[in-house]
Structure 1
Amino acid sequence: MRGALLALTVLCSLRGSLCLYQGEELALPEAELAFDDLQDPSASTSGPGVKGRDGCRTPMVWETTENGGFVQPTHPWLPVDARHQPLAVTCQEASSDSPLNRIRQLLKQLRNSELLRQGKQSLINLPLL
């Protein structure tokens, strides 16, 4: 997580829009899905050796309920990975040192810093070798 937070800190210091993909703020690992659960056409037509994109498309875990508080039906589009349950939003909000709250703090600093939002950028030309 430290490396990911460092990389995000560097991204916040660069010009341009910042985009977080769903689950990055919770430090969710890619979900492990059974072949029969896959919905991605490229994975389901390629056979069990190809995982496809579905491991990054599972429901957002808002709470530690069966489907993460994302959906009420007993069978969502993709299942929630059990490893995601302890990383749910409700679990992370209680800890100031959680990935969610550390990223919230970083985004607050970005929002409150005029230098980071509108500062000038200078390129340094250095030889590679």
Structure 2
Amino acid sequence: MTAEPTDRVLRIRRELAALGLTQPQYWILRYLAPGDLGADVSGRTLDELAAVLGEYLLPGDDLPADADGLLARALVGRDADGRLRLTPAGRAAHTRVKESLPAIQARLGEAEEA
């Protein structure tokens, strides 16, 4: 089952784009980040990520392309077993977005009240 693109989801995606990430890329970072959704794992394969993210992806989302984008920007690396892992730059990007969330949520709330 694929998620539907609500106005709120589209606004969230615009906010994340302003931070240089797609929403699926941010989810990948979250599922790889210790202390976030990846707290219980040491890296994940693309298939594992697809399994946990499948119901959230919108039509047109391309998880392999998003992962490739993170690899190209050295925000994640791939180990010999094909598992994706956060790099120091990926941890910094994850932290930057997490620190931006209160402001993003405030802007989303303002937009919904308007």
TM-score of the superposition, structure 1-length normalised? Answer: 0.27
When Rg is computed on C-alpha atoms for both structures, the one with the higher figure is 1
TM-score (norm 2): 0.30
More strand by share: 2
Structure of greater relative contact order (alpha carbons < 8 Å, 6+ residues apart):
2
